[in-house]
Structure 1
Amino acid sequence: MLPSGFQVQIDPRCARRGNLRYLVGGSPMRVMKLSDPALGMTSADGRIAVADVGTQVLARRLLDAGIAHPRPMSGPCVADVTVVIPVRGNQSGVDRLLAALSDHEVSVVVVDDGSEIPIRVSDGARLIRFDENRGPAAARNAGVAATSTEFIAFLDSDTVPTGDWLTMLLGHFADPTVAIVAPRIVGLQTVAAGSDSTSFVADYANRFSSLDMGPREALVAPGTPLAYVPSAAMLVRRTGFLSFDESLRVAEDVDLCWRTHRAGWRIRYDPIAEVAHDHRESLSGMLNRRRFYGTGAAELALRHGELAAPLVMTAPIAAGVVALATRSRIGMLVAAVIAAIVCRNTMRAVAHVPQREKIAAVNTGRAFGFGLLQLAAAVLRHYWPISFLTCAVSRRFRVWFVWVAVVEALVMWVRNQMVDPETPVMSPMHYLVFRRLDDLAYGAGLWQGVIVRRDVGALRPVITRR
């Protein structure tokens, strides 16, 4: 149950129809109709304050639909938190992080995961040392076992928290069903692009890190735009912590998030709190890390099945997207017919909603747009070995592949600037080059994992009827 005084705010990106009675948004997109009593509980600016059973039910429905976000008034105190720092061979990072935490009234446990030169810690921090490397999952679990506080913050040794990050995150635990909260992970420093490639690499890593989940707060759940949060910076509730799978050396954070969601707990991402990350600045280091992340897809597919699918679409959208991708007149005609059918069906589903034509058109356009981006990611990232082989034997496919590689990067470059206008602009050309290298590295790791595990689940698309 949400406590009295807890508030939620309707997402400003959520479309409102009929004087706030109809809300269009969430993930997946849906239309929610508010009853007269529910309208009376909602302020003009879209806030609902929990005061009784009715407001509790309404607030919970909006939160779980992704249509509203929490605005808790207060949460647990910082003294109820222990920070666990897993580390292997990064003494300077530990020193920097401990210095950053010195102003916080938190206990600190450092777990040395088999460093060749033993890690040293300052007074006040507890040190646990493994004789041999056991992996970050085991290190974090050992750190949790050595704590007694109700909340545990995981911070990697190459991170530096900024501002009042902990207080901002703790407020979310006023909701007793929240087990994990994560901040936004940003680059420790943004390196201006210079004449040498190392500066360009650092520039890309700082602005487009795979650890940065973006500027929009969200409910985290598999099958949504934000399917997980990274454990490089994460705050957990002890009673909702299911432990990391120590058999995993990669993707252990994704696995934890999905198991936590399946167990009925909720996970929040709040970008107002930020933790800086010292990204690898060499090209080989960055690409090797991306490849390593890619190997985790096979492990996730073995444990979570279709949740790890590289591509998920309904059959009508898949057919329309493939037709569009042919760039032929017949393909365009087929796609137009499918889009018209999808739009008509959507209009029927929201026949009672004002401006249903606009809602149906926007929903259809978004579905096709997202489908096209998924198809592009498939040929450029997940299935690029097959794409390369096809390019070698088909000139037509080769031309189409190059066209997709360029257009997808430009679309994503524009999208990134629109979603996060405060992020410094990187030139489209440099972004194109590094994004394609990023895709090649991740895809190589994906296929490596599939071959090692002898399971193609991470390559199997999911096409649903509707």
Structure 2
Amino acid sequence: MTAPLPEGFAVRLHRYVRAHDGGRTLVGGAPRRMVRLTGPAAGLIADRTIRVRDRASAALADRLLETGMADPIAAELPDLDLSQVTLVVPARDRPAALGRLLACVGGRHHVIVVDDGSDDPAAVAAVAAAHRAELVALPENAGPAAARNAGLRRVTTPYVAFVDSDVVLAPDALRILLRHFNDPRVAVAAPRVLGLRPAGRNPWIGRYEEARSSLDLGVRPGIVRPRAPVSWVPSACLLARVGALGRGFSPDMRVGEDVDLVWRLAAEGWRVRYEPAAIVRHEHRTVVHDWLRRKAFYGTGAHLLAERHGRDVAPAVFTPWSAGLALAVLAQRRWSLPVAAAIFAVAVARTSVKVRRSDRPLRLALALTADGAVATVWQTTALLLRHWWPLAAAGCLFSRRLRRAVALAAVLDTVGDLRRTGAHLDPLRFALARRLDDAAYGCGVWYGAVKGRSARALMPDFRRPAPRPPVR
């Protein structure tokens, strides 16, 4: 995994990376950090873009990719041979959906359909045969992770695409994703997952899912790892380098197996990329009780991930000053705003010392601390409305201040999300769907924690930011 980026490889600074000090100081990344560049290194960035022409530009581009400060320009990367991709499709019944997927694939790839203990295996076998797909029939239901592993063992090409049977691929989705493997350190690339448009009228839950699906990770590309803006990618569609996968998915996990895989790969030094220019469509649930059950099911995976990945699963990350700021604001006392202001001022002062090499250390420290304060507000909102909502709901019965805090958090969350997503749904029903979404997921997290007798998945992570070495 030490091969350099090839000549001509181009990367662009992420939209939310900000340059200071004439381009010598960059702030952003995944997780967020500050790096200082030497003058020659800063000179390699033109119009926020670095093109690999020599060892120095390759090293800088590689470092910025690894810190999450830059993303490959997929449109400028050369195409790779699509015949080197095998599709593995785990299926359990739903022959019509399987047929729809195989029809959109055509004959461009070798396809392995893994029948994961269907109630009607003959129907699945008939669809696979009609589309000349290889069939692997498991004698009993083993779960999607085990089914994908069974298919992976039959793959002989360098790349494998895991595609769920209820997905439809855009014609260029795999071609765009495969370009990312020009980077020799990329192990997995994942597309944006949008909803499959229904034939008739889309119900209100369907319209909410269209804008706010758990599988849709947004319009910005990024590196995928714990604490990153894109911290996971769904296994509905993943393109992977076979040589990087090792033992594949954890077969004992029926939920969260996709998160576990990409976090293991990241820990091993591989890169996982999210590429929204590649689009697939998924058949979302639009019946309310099925939708709620699926959201809760996702939540149960938090405990399993906490067992394997520890505090990376924490629902929020606070430093001492941000925790103090959140507590002061939540207290809603006369002293709350003065104390919060004092905490903020101390944080600015301490940060200005750390960035004293900047041309304007106070200004940079103010920007960094303000960003941290905004992040604290959103994390606290998520705790109240999602992970800790049972505690918050109980507390609201006794505390007027907590009721105000929860109500304000709900308004901020609804307005912010509605504005960001542009959902085709009125604010009232969007707000209802948001609260149902959070409540169902939170119930799943609590169920997993109680069943597993561990509160780790519910506990915030309190830490001091580690010092980051400068990029030279």
TM-score after normalising by structure 2: 0.92
Question: 2-side partners of 1:235 and 1:166: how far apart?
Answer: 7
Is structure 2 residue 267 aligned with structure 1 residue 259?
no
Is structure 2 residue 96 aligned with structure 1 residue 92?
yes
Question: 2-side partners of 1:88 and 1:299: how far apart?
Answer: 23
Match of 1:373 in 2: 378
Match of 1:159 in 2: 167
Match of 1:441 in 2: 440
CA contact (8 A) 2:169 2:281 kept: yes
Kindly provide the amino acid, as one letter, of the partner of residue 213 in structure 2. S
Per the TM alignment, residue 370 of structure 1 is displaced from its structure 2 partner at its CA by 1.3
CA contact (8 A) 1:350 1:356 kept: yes
Equivalent residues in 2 for 1:237-386 (5 A)?
237-242=241-246, 243-386=248-391
Is structure 2 residue 203 aligned with structure 1 residue 199?
yes
Match of 2:19 in 1: 16
Q: 1:356 to 1:427 in 2, by over 3 A?
A: farther
Tell me whether 56-65 or 433-442 shows the greater mean CA deviation: 56-65
Deviations 1:131-183 (A, max 9, x none): 21100001100111111011000111111111311111111111111101001
Counterpart of 2:120 (choices 97, 112, 117) is 117
Q: 1:383 to 1:74 in 2, by over 3 A?
A: same
Matched residue of 2:131: which SS? coil
Kindly provide the amino acid, as one letter, of the partner of residue 154 in structure 1. F
CA contact (8 A) 2:218 2:276 kept: yes
Tell me whether 430-439 or 73-82 shows the greater mean CA deviation: 73-82
Matched residue of 2:188: which SS? strand
Higher relative CO (Cα under 8 Å, sequence separation at least 6) belongs to 2
Question: 2-side partners of 1:13 and 1:309: how far apart?
Answer: 24
Per the TM alignment, residue 363 of structure 1 is displaced from its structure 2 partner at its CA by 1.9
Deviations 1:95-150 (A, max 9, x none): 11011111x62111111111101113223211111121100001100111111011
Per the TM alignment, residue 39 of structure 1 is displaced from its structure 2 partner at its CA by 3.5
Equivalent residues in 2 for 1:57-76 (5 A)?
57-71=59-73, 73-76=77-80
Match of 2:183 in 1: 175
Counterpart of 1:145 (choices 142, 153, 169) is 153
Q: 1:191 to 1:177 in 2, by over 3 A?
A: same
Matched residue of 1:329: which SS? coil
CA contact (8 A) 1:84 1:152 kept: yes
Kindly provide the amino acid, as one letter, of the partner of residue 434 in structure 2. R
- Matched positions, count: 454
CA contact (8 A) 1:190 1:207 kept: no
Kindly provide the amino acid, as one letter, of the partner of residue 351 in structure 1. R
Counterpart of 1:28 (choices 31, 34, 38) is 31
Kindly provide the amino acid, as one letter, of the partner of residue 118 in structure 2. S
Structure 2: unaligned runs, 5 residues or longer = 466-472
Deviations 1:37-74 (A, max 9, x none): 3234333x222222322122111111112221113622
Matched residue of 1:393: which SS? coil
Question: 1-side partners of 2:417 and 2:193: how far apart?
Answer: 20
Question: 1-side partners of 2:336 and 2:198: how far apart?
Answer: 44
Kindly provide the amino acid, as one letter, of the partner of residue 98 in structure 2. V
Kindly provide the amino acid, as one letter, of the partner of residue 445 in structure 2. L
Per the TM alignment, residue 32 of structure 1 is displaced from its structure 2 partner at its CA by 2.7
Question: 1-side partners of 2:259 and 2:338: how far apart?
Answer: 40
Counterpart of 1:394 (choices 393, 399, 404) is 399
Match of 2:48 in 1: 46
Tell me whether 321-330 or 448-457 shows the greater mean CA deviation: 321-330
Kindly provide the amino acid, as one letter, of the partner of residue 135 in structure 2. L
Match of 2:7 in 1: 4
Kindly provide the amino acid, as one letter, of the partner of residue 58 in structure 2. Q
CA contact (8 A) 1:110 1:128 kept: yes
Match of 1:432 in 2: 431
Per the TM alignment, residue 204 of structure 1 is displaced from its structure 2 partner at its CA by 0.7
Per the TM alignment, residue 386 of structure 1 is displaced from its structure 2 partner at its CA by 1.5
Deviations 1:369-412 (A, max 9, x none): 11111112112211222222222333443343233223322233
Deviations 1:279-337 (A, max 9, x none): 01101111100000000001011111111112211111011012112333311111111
CA contact (8 A) 1:191 1:202 kept: no
Tell me whether 400-409 or 314-323 shows the greater mean CA deviation: 400-409
Structure 1: unaligned runs, 5 residues or longer = 418-422
Give me the CA root mean square deviation: 1.9
Q: 1:34 to 1:311 in 2, by over 3 A?
A: closer
Per the TM alignment, residue 87 of structure 1 is displaced from its structure 2 partner at its CA by 1.1
Kindly provide the amino acid, as one letter, of the partner of residue 54 in structure 1. A
Question: 1-side partners of 2:332 and 2:438: how far apart?
Answer: 24
CA contact (8 A) 1:185 1:274 kept: yes
Q: 1:100 to 1:208 in 2, by over 3 A?
A: same
CA contact (8 A) 2:255 2:298 kept: yes
Per the TM alignment, residue 18 of structure 1 is displaced from its structure 2 partner at its CA by 3.8
Deviations 1:8-43 (A, max 9, x none): 122243222344333222233333333233234333
CA contact (8 A) 2:385 2:438 kept: yes
Question: 1-side partners of 2:402 and 2:55: how far apart?
Answer: 59
Per the TM alignment, residue 75 of structure 1 is displaced from its structure 2 partner at its CA by 4.4
Is structure 2 residue 138 aligned with structure 1 residue 130?
yes
CA contact (8 A) 1:250 1:296 kept: yes
Is structure 2 residue 230 aligned with structure 1 residue 226?
yes
CA contact (8 A) 2:103 2:131 kept: no
Matched residue of 1:185: which SS? strand
Query: Percent identity of the aligned residues?
Result: 39
Q: 1:190 to 1:38 in 2, by over 3 A?
A: farther
Counterpart of 1:217 (choices 200, 215, 221) is 221
